Structure 1
């Protein structure tokens, strides 16, 4: 059963009532089918209306939903013949950033992304999707291979930010993020980046400095989390909703600002309610973008990225 968010409590109450009526009907004492259908229709309408007017803070909660599809789900549902590659050839293998060779339809690609994990054990193993320096250096190594063998790069971004621990700073976190961003910008092959959940700070940009940046409908993308922004401006995290609204972190706002290039629709109620449909929608969008980029020369691709990022913030 889907976990409901705080703003979905009225929907949760209706769904609970529907389950109660079904249990009663299963006992054979009453015919409640018409009543159940009415409640199901009301619940579907309420879900549609709620998600049509989500606030930025509510979208942030949806983007963080624990049942939202993650990197491994996209690999299983979207790519074939995935061959994972590990290690940065320097320190170790970061489990927050994964990647390798894969088949997307009839096209061979290099796919890289953040993995948050699905349960307590896997979230700890993947460090909640917060990459360390060796993760970004692994991404650089994979992008180098893509460039060498003329393979397009697809990145799936879903992180609250790079790991802020002392050990990561000692191993050159800032330098690794900067080098990864630089590598994205210098690629001579097509690159499509997708913000599939949270796109937090430099940890996200390091895998998203592409000529085509896509976002799922209820994903968020920002330089700092709403809670972090609120704690700096108002010395409290209680104003995270105010910060989220002011920061323009939604896909809809970022498309208007020219930060992203395309919004990929999610199923009604968010990607977590129908992961298969969400993954199919994303696969179609990525394929269309790669088709459009495949005929471009290396110099054109670099120029396209340069113009895209220099134009952000200009009137």
Structure 2
């Protein structure tokens, strides 16, 4: 189990509890009461820490190495029914963007999402969850297929941003993201977007336009990462905590500003502490959203979606 800096008091108590239980097993001393006291203190400490998280601490939780990624969610939601589809029919298959057909219960969906790696080798293979233009073009191809067969689309967002390399720009990174945003506004099937980790910049927006945009509790959604914002404004990464607060990037801030529709509750301590509970919460949120959208006609669906985005922001 890996602990973040602000979780160190929890680590100490869990180590104390473990030692106490070992002493009880290896000797005749009754340590039941002591263990119970430590357990009570541990629960109280967890509640105190996780109910008063700063914006930067939520950013750290969204990047936790044990946090479930897109494929983990898809496998939990669909079981063996998921069929991955590859390629943009133009350049190549982008490993950072995955997609395919899957079922939740009796309902088929087109799943699309960014996938990060679990270790150095898979992180390089998945390009750290940063998609190239062909990834966004693959996503659009799958969305158009879903529209053709009248299937709802579910996007799972978890990216530090679109790949900023020279070759990506040469192949039209900006155009690929802009086209996806335009095409998603007028797609004639329900679109449900779920932010399961990092939702950074145009990389997230490229698959982030939907009828329902949901955020897991310990995730963030912003035009720029706190570190990049800090380096631009203060010429240093040291002010990333201040930047995170100023950006209003947490799920609570996003809901308050009406930029997302709902927040999906996570287990105490984050999605990685109880994966099954987190997967179940995401499943229920997707099913609830689809139930609200499935009876709308394609015309109403597109109109409501366009009105939703036209109402965002303040302008003259």
Same fold (TM over 0.5): yes
Partner residue of 1:165?
Answer: 165
Partner residue of 2:261?
Answer: 261
Partner residue of 1:22?
Answer: 21
Partner residue of 2:224?
Answer: 224
Q: Does 1:50 align with 2:66?
A: no
Partner residue of 2:288?
Answer: 288
**Superposition CA RMSD, Å:** 1.1
Q: Deviating runs (4+, > 6 A) in structure 1?
A: none
Q: Relative to structure 2, which stretch is displaced further, 106-115 or 301-310? A: 301-310
Residues of 2 paired with 1:210 and 1:269: CA distance? 28
Offset of 1:65 from its aligned partner? 0.5
Offset of 1:172 from its aligned partner? 1.1
Partner residue of 2:234?
Answer: 234
Give the 5 Å matches for 1:98-117: 98-117=98-117
Residues of 2 paired with 1:166 and 1:27: CA distance? 61
Q: Does 1:149 align with 2:157?
A: no
Residues of 2 paired with 1:7 and 1:95: CA distance? 33
Offset of 1:128 from its aligned partner? 1.2
Q: Deviations over 1:184-224 (max 9, x none)?
A: 11210000000111100000011111111000011100000
Q: Per the alignment, do residues 26 and 120 of structure 1 end up closer, same or farther by CA in structure 2, a change over 3 Å counting?
A: farther
Partner residue of 1:310?
Answer: 310
Q: Does 1:176 align with 2:176?
A: yes
Give the 5 Å matches for 1:116-135: 116-135=116-135
Contact 1:143 1:183 in 2 (8 A): no
Offset of 1:25 from its aligned partner? 2.2
Give the 5 Å matches for 1:243-282: 243-282=243-282
Q: Does 1:301 align with 2:301?
A: yes
Q: Deviations over 1:271-297 (max 9, x none)?
A: 110011011011001100001100011
Offset of 1:29 from its aligned partner? 4.4
Q: Which runs of no fewer than 5 residues in structure 1 stay unpaired?
A: none
Offset of 1:31 from its aligned partner? 2.2
Partner residue of 1:194?
Answer: 194
SS of 1:79's partner is helix
Q: Does 1:71 align with 2:76?
A: no
Residues of 1 paired with 2:222 and 2:274: CA distance? 25
Residues of 1 paired with 2:281 and 2:268: CA distance? 13
Offset of 1:230 from its aligned partner? 0.6
Q: Deviations over 1:226-278 (max 9, x none)?
A: 00001000111111010110110001011011100000100011111001101
Q: Relative to structure 2, which stretch is displaced further, 178-187 or 248-257? A: 178-187
Residues of 2 paired with 1:183 and 1:29: CA distance? 69
Q: Which runs of no fewer than 5 residues in structure 2 stay unpaired?
A: none
Residues of 2 paired with 1:37 and 1:186: CA distance? 57
* TM-score normalised over the length of structure 1: 0.97
Partner residue of 2:30?
Answer: 31
Residues of 1 paired with 2:180 and 2:136: CA distance? 6
Contact 1:21 1:36 in 2 (8 A): yes
